[in-house]
Amino acid sequence: MKKNIKMIISYDGTRYNGWEHQQNTDMTIQGKLEAVLERMIGGGDSDAFKKSGSGVTVIGAGRTDAGVHARAMTANVILDTELTCDEIRVYMNRYLPDDISVNKVTEASDNFHSRFNAKGKTYRYTFWVGDVKPVFDRKYVSVLDKAPDVGKMREAAEKLIGTHDFKSFCGNPRMKKSTVREVDSIKIEESGNYIRLYFHGNGFLQNMVRIMTGTLLEVGYGKKKPEDIEAIIEGKDRQLAGFTAEAKGLTLMKVDYE
Amino acid sequence: MKKNIKMIISYDGTRYNGWEHQQNTDMTIQGKLEAVLERMIGGGDSDAFKKSGSGVTVIGAGRTDAGVHARAMTANVILDTELTCDEIRVYMNRYLPDDISVNKVTEASDNFHSRFNAKGKTYRYTFWVGDVKPVFDRKYVSVLDKAPDVGKMREAAEKLIGTHDFKSFCGNPRMKKSTVREVDSIKIEESGNYIRLYFHGNGFLQNMVRIMTGTLLEVGYGKKKPEDIEAIIEGKDRQLAGFTAEAKGLTLMKVDYE
């Protein structure tokens, strides 16, 4: 019986070449999930099952870059199986590596599509400030030697909020589709050695959160001014925005659906 | 000028064969610290410096087992150097691997000895309960499939508190010295999926915290009863106590001095 299975997944992206499966590597999150599901419904051998033309496709709400983490990625997959949702979850967690976890499995309606139906996403970017090294968080934060001016960063962040053409913040120079997105909130929290940036929007372009983060950090260090943001957006030129903050500081926190 | 340098150190013990340096491996915390300090005061080549008879010895407050972590290990070392404490800290953090951090360096009195002068230590043992995998904490927790009875564990913990001969909780069967120690508090906290056990005492025998933890867990699962603890202590026999909980759940949190 065909079911549309919805999954909430956490992963530590450190070892992986991103979400999307690729020809040259089996080290992708999508690839790992599909291999385990094919093994589950095919009865053991994922390769033979795939060759029979019965491979499965896991659709993720977004395609995280290499090294980016997720606390709650949403994905769905059409499966022909008699297993219950709980049996699927237990099976997957048994065979997935330690750095990928399936937290929740439910049956969705036939037309649920984790990417097309996503209404919003929350990303968090984490900086660690100081010359004491973040031993236990070292794979999940980007280290800054000196503190940026967070007040200035907040001023600049306000100017990013809204519906804009974010072409200047798009990491894909050959992007053909619309680069208009709505960012409805950017919150910047300071707590001890941490500075955490929370971005919420209806969708993000390739590297967009990391480029916004890099740009805000340049404002925090006085290399750019909050009032430069408008011209950066207007210019629609990647060269105008700041650097791309490193992947390991970024985590997809949540995907919203209606 | 000879100085007695006191250091507060954090480390992720995952990759290391424990604190104490050993003949067959350079993957010990003490070994890594000494190599960096020898490089610092010898001007580059740690091996040549050591061969000249000028090797340094870092004294730790305790010798953590392979795989055990520390948030604040205290250590001291006699160094003949003109460098300031801050210069020493910055140098060490530059050359130490990412999973070892020197958080604080101060000059101590000549007779300060991090092991002999330690008045107390706090260890934390962390369990993660549930079939959702702890993706981001996986190297720092021990996973339990089902929840133990924490009330019973607390009852049993009360009976461990006090000054006792902890021979039954000593992992070294050839221990020649006194096995009497004082444990003055054991606190067990539940928070979400976590169960955290905090142990404070004047000192702990080899594996003692891990054996106490394993014994308390067996009480939590009904394999032992809180009222068995007295007989386990009285028996002075390692066979009477519970299993040795795995290293990765254990962290040295703090060392107390007068």
Q: Is A72 exposed, middle or buried (0-12, 13-18, 19+ CB in 10 A)?
A: middle
Q: Is B69 on the interface with A (CB under 8 A)?
A: yes
Best interface-test mutation with A: which of B15, B93, B132, B136 has the largest number of A CBs within 10 A? Answer: B136
DSSP three-state, residue B131: coil
pLDDT for position A248: 97
Kind of pairing, strands A69-80 and B194-201?
unpaired
B169 interfaces chain A, CB cutoff of 8 Å: no
Q: Quote the pLDDT of residue B46.
A: 65
Q: A100 in contact with B at a CB cutoff of 8 Å?
A: yes
Angstroms from A93 CA to nearest CA on chain B: 8
Least confident of A37-51, A153-167, B229-243: A37-51
Catalytic residue positions of B? 65
Per CB-CB distance under 8 Å, the chain A contacts of B136 are 10, 12, 69, 71, 140
Q: Do B12 and A136 touch (CB under 8 A)?
A: yes
Min Cα–Cα distance to chain A from B137, Å = 9
Average pLDDT score over residue span A90-115: 96
Measured between CA atoms, the residue of chain B closest to residue A97 is: B135
What is the pLDDT, as a whole number, of residue B42?
A: 81
Nearest CA in chain B to A138: B98
Q: Nearest chain A residue to B86 by CA: give it.
A: A131
User: Where are the alpha helices (H) located in chain B, listed in sequence order?
Assistant: 29-42, 46-49, 85-95, 150-160, 208-220, 229-235
Counting as low any pLDDT under 70, the low residues of chain B are: 43-54
In chain A, residues with a C-beta closer than 8 Å to the C-beta of B132 are 93, 101, 103
Q: Which residue has the higher pLDDT, A191 or A47?
A: A191
B136–A98 C-beta distance less than 8 A: no
- pLDDT of A44 reads 65
Q: With cut-offs at 50, 70 and 90, classify the pLDDT of residue A125.
A: very high
Indicate the pLDDT class of residue A52, thresholds 50, 70 and 90: low
Contacts with A101 from chain B: Cβ below 8 Å: 132-135
Quickly state the pLDDT bin for A196 (edges 50, 70, 90): very high
Please tell me the distance in Å from B10's CA to the nearest CA on chain A. 7
Distances (CA, A) of A107 to A6, A84, A86: 6, 9, 10
Chain B contact present for A69, CB below 8 A: yes
Active-site residue, from A26, A65, A145, A184: A65
Rounded Cα–Cα distance for residues B126 and B193 (Å): 10
CB pair distance less than 8 Å for A101 and B12: no
Q: Which of the listed ranges A24-38, A39-53, B39-53 does the model predict with the highest average pLDDT?
A: A24-38
Return the pLDDT at A25: 85
Q: At residue A89, does pLDDT exceed 70?
A: yes
Are A133 and B90 inside 8 Å of each other by CB? no
Chain A positions in Cβ-Cβ contact with residue B90 (cut-off 8 Å): 131
How confident is the model at residue B26, as a pLDDT?
86
Q: Name the packing angle between helices B150-160 and B208-220 (round to 10°).
A: 140
| Residue-level pLDDT at A43 | 66
How far apart are the CA of A150 and the nearest CA of chain B, in angstroms? 24
Nearest residue, CB atoms, B136 vs list A133, A135, A140: A140
> How much is the pLDDT for A1?
79
Say if strands B180-191 and B162-165 run parallel, antiparallel, or are unpaired.
antiparallel
Q: How confident is the model at residue A35 (pLDDT cuts 50, 70, 90)?
A: very high
Residue of B nearest to A105 (CA): B132
pLDDT at A163 over 90: yes
Residue A135 has pLDDT above 80, yes or no: yes
Inter-chain residue contact A12 with B100, CB threshold 8 Å: no
Q: What pLDDT shows up at residue A142?
A: 98
CB contact under 8 A, A89 and B10: no
pLDDT, position A46: 65
CA distance A187 to A166: 19
B135 touches chain A (CB under 8 A): yes
| Beta strand ranges found along chain B (DSSP E) | 2-11, 59-60, 69-80, 100-108, 120-129, 142-144, 162-165, 180-191, 194-201, 250-256
Please give the pLDDT value at position B24.
86
Global confidence as pTM: 0.90
Q: Does A133 touch chain B (CB under 8 A)?
A: yes
Contact A93 B138 (CB under 8 A): no
A129: burial class by Cβ within 10 Å (0-12, 13-18, 19+)? Answer: buried
Give the pLDDT score at A4.
Answer: 97
Which one of B7, B93, B133 would you mutate to disrupt binding with A, by most A Cβ within 10 Å of its Cβ?
Answer: B133
**Residue A79, CB-side half-sphere exposure with 13 Å CA sphere:** 27
Reported as a pLDDT band with limits 50, 70 and 90, residue A100 is very high
What is the structure's pLDDT at B252? 98
Q: pLDDT digits over B35-89, tens only?
A: 999 999 886 666 666 666 668 999 999 999 999 999 999 999 999 999 999 999 9
The distance of A100 to chain B (nearest Cα, Å) reads 6
Q: What is the pLDDT, as a whole number, of residue A24?
A: 86
Per-residue 3-state assignment (H helix, E strand, C coil) for A159-214: HHCEEEECHHHCCCCCCCCCCEEEEEEEEEEEECCEEEEEEEECCCCCCHHHHHHH
pLDDT at B132: 86
pLDDT confidence of residue B51? 66
Q: Are A6 and A107 in contact (CB under 8 A)?
A: yes
With beta carbons under 8 A apart, name residues in chain A contacting B253. Answer: none
